[in-house]
Structure 1
């Protein structure tokens, strides 16, 4: 019998949202998988607890003691132990490293793997399309060290192809959250009334706009509150707004809401990691609005059947923005254009005063097709077997 492919995946951290994927890969029947990462030295990031019983059977396949060296707690520039692992570790079929060009240790690790005949892939954002000459040259040179590259969305794949990379060497891996739990809750939340879920609003049956994530200036959440102000002043439609999370912009947003929105029409829930609570809110909300870069919030919202809107400048976006099918599972507006956001949001909620079953199913479909650990496992296997990309 032919032995199963061996795969090792090294990441900077083990963020909590990746837990379903890591477990899926560890328990795969198609390959032998191992994982290494650094400790959480950045505040505000919830990580996987590898001491929990679910990982006991896999303890020999997990190394969470990689030494990360950061500049200003922002730029990861070195991972101690990775080069040693590539140089002296057992020869494997596939080594997956972070696709970050500023991570100098991965330049050396990639070269070592190529010399040893170990197939290597970088996993990352690829090219955004807005890089200057020097940055693009640095990144493309780095990506060419690998046998293949894993990127999160089709746009990045297309940009790499335009810059001379072979199509069959670029695998779109997408991203995922707590897929199996979220899927299991779909029917449960349909049986809960909107008035029970949003009982903190004066009129809980009005359309609810929602955001969940870090309250940072990059998220441009004041635009969400300004949109609510404009809608409520238009007298065509009234809305509620729920913001889940905490961060540097929290106080500023609170003050704006207190001064500009009707009492009982807004709620700052604060930081929350309880998936049952977040899922309940997402599933009964009418539209998720992320005026800045959207990231995994798009996957979270769509996973619970709620459409999402964000801006249309993909050079300044998280890759997950591409999960939105314009005017089907949400919409895009012109970046930084409050009038466009207001007009399109008002139009959307007028057309969709209540989420139809078709709208909800459309949101589920894109998640079930691509943004889940099962799809990601297939991508890992294809890479290990040197097969053509699925997407």
Structure 2
């Protein structure tokens, strides 16, 4: 058995494992709670407890053991003293750390943990696209500090294996949002027990197809491409309504574009209340995320709503894998408004029945992209790396 504290642990005693993030975004709360329910592992969750760059922090009281671990930035780099302390204290059977090469403290903590023979698991995107040799070497050196790498998607494992990282040291853990909460909201919607208004009612012509996106209004999300596509659709005689749920630095420019072209666009603002956002997604015809889609893909499919995004996977986020083209969504040429307009028009004209889309979308989420699934895979990886499997 490995690990500094392993000599004290028996097969009946839960392992002690530190999970170290700089911050735990609010959307990680469901997987934190799923992990916290483990009978085999007692997790300590490390994090700052503070919001970051407009993203709310998870409720630190949502799990049994949350340890405040502030950090400071040094230019592009980050230093988190508690990460090093956790690695050197000898109290843990394993460490799980967010895999970001800019976190200097993670390099130090991983080296220290390995010196103490404490298994290290990295958790992160891993490999998103093919890279030049210098970046490959840095990643190989950094990722090689882990005994096991927990990546978000199958493509990440394929890319990692292609550059020589041992496939047996890469575990795909997917990603997750609060699926059970979404299920409860859907039950209210379908039983008619929610007071939430159908979002179509927000617009002057509620009969138009409704396109939605729940994401921060940033340049990387390329909502300007969506508005250009909306102009093209209107010129073709297929006007749409657009509902953007989120805030961000691009809002003023997007509002200007919408006004200039007399588009029907509602800027809903930021909203983290699932009982408000859920019905918006559920009743929309399509989620359209012209830039990277990430968690938005999962959020949309949780409510049975198909998603359209670009198909340049080197510039995508891992969660794009949840979309099955023609069944739960579609892809268009990156940064091409005409291609996006074509994809939207084609989906609206030829999409499978909405009931079929809902079934397949929600089944895809529950098969891989749910908190309990993610927590179970992580637990199995920890048990294997500590010799408890």
- TM-score norm. by structure 1 comes to 0.90
The yes-or-no answer on 1:63 pairing with 2:45 is: no
User: Could you tell which deviates more after superposition, 239-248 or 24-33?
Assistant: 24-33
Query: Of 9, 32, 45, which residue of structure 1 is paired with 2:55?
Result: 45
Residues 251-282 of structure 1, C-alpha deviations (whole Å, 9 max, x = no match): 111111112135xx321111112111110100
- TM-score norm. by structure 2 comes to 0.91
Unaligned runs of 5+ in 2: 1-10
Give me the whole-angstrom Cα distance separating, in 2, the residues matched to 1:314 and 1:68: 32
Give me the whole-angstrom Cα distance separating, in 2, the residues matched to 1:187 and 1:261: 37
Cα RMSD, aligned residues only: 2.0
Query: Of 368, 374, 382, which residue of structure 2 is paired with 1:384?
Result: 382
Give me the whole-angstrom Cα distance separating, in 2, the residues matched to 1:99 and 1:195: 41
- In the other structure, the counterpart of 1:363 is 361
**Secondary structure at the counterpart of residue 201 of structure 2:** coil
The CA deviation at 1:185 is 2.0
Q: In the alignment, is the contact (CA less than 8 A) between 2:147 and 2:385 conserved in 1?
A: no
Give me the whole-angstrom Cα distance separating, in 1, the residues matched to 2:66 and 2:105: 20
**Secondary structure at the counterpart of residue 198 of structure 1:** helix
The CA deviation at 1:205 is 3.0
Residues 69-100 of structure 1, C-alpha deviations (whole Å, 9 max, x = no match): 2245xx442211211221123141x2101111
Question: How many equivalent residue pairs?
Answer: 374
Give me the whole-angstrom Cα distance separating, in 2, the residues matched to 1:183 and 1:111: 42
Give me the whole-angstrom Cα distance separating, in 2, the residues matched to 1:381 and 1:249: 40
- In the other structure, the counterpart of 1:204 is 206
The CA deviation at 1:37 is 1.0
Q: In the alignment, is the contact (CA less than 8 A) between 1:313 and 1:334 conserved in 2?
A: yes
Unaligned runs of 5+ in 1: none
Q: In the alignment, is the contact (CA less than 8 A) between 1:195 and 1:205 conserved in 2?
A: no
**Secondary structure at the counterpart of residue 8 of structure 1:** strand
The CA deviation at 1:243 is 0.8
Q: In the alignment, is the contact (CA less than 8 A) between 1:295 and 1:317 conserved in 2?
A: yes
Q: In the alignment, is the contact (CA less than 8 A) between 1:175 and 1:372 conserved in 2?
A: yes
**Taking structure 1 as reference, are residues 261 and 348 closer, same or farther at Cα in structure 2, changes over 3 Å only?**
farther
Give me the whole-angstrom Cα distance separating, in 2, the residues matched to 1:256 and 1:384: 50
